[in-house]
Amino acid sequence: MELKEIADELVAGCRENRTTENLGKLYDAKAVSVEGMDYDGSGREVSGLEAIRGKHAWWDSSFEVHDAKVEGPFLHGEDRFGVVFEIDATNKENGERMQMRELGIYQVKGGKIVREEFFY
């Protein structure tokens, strides 16, 4: 897949609730995911598709999403794109509701996402 195809599919998957399905389709098996903060004491960075699946599973089990908006993709050169996410969610454990806005930067190599970084 080309950069624009990958970027468009990632955004479409987010809008159509196909994020988990898209992991195997869009991500390299050795992809790296980097958060802006260490939320649970396990570190900011995880490596490998299974670890990224684990992050998604943690989010899905920990938060109830009331509304989510996705803006982009914004292509940058031949190997990167950005996406802006706006999320209104409630933490299932403590009932705290939050609104967040973050920027995801994705790097593509060999037709797959090899790195994602999130900025808050």
Instruction: List the domain boundaries for the chain.
Output: 3-119
Res. 41: pLDDT tops 80: no
Structure tokens, 80: 């990167």
What is the pLDDT, as a whole number, of residue 42? Answer: 76
Q: What number is the average pLDDT over the span 84-104? A: 97
Q: What number is the average pLDDT over the span 80-97? A: 97
What is the pLDDT, as a whole number, of residue 39? Answer: 75
CATH of the domain spanning 3-119: 3.10.450.50
What is the pLDDT, as a whole number, of residue 2? Answer: 96
Task: Name the β-bridge partners of 105.
Answer: 82, 117
pTM of the shown model: 0.94
Res. 54: pLDDT tops 80: yes
**Position 19, amino acid:** T
Residues 6+ apart with CB under 8 A from 65: 87, 88, 89
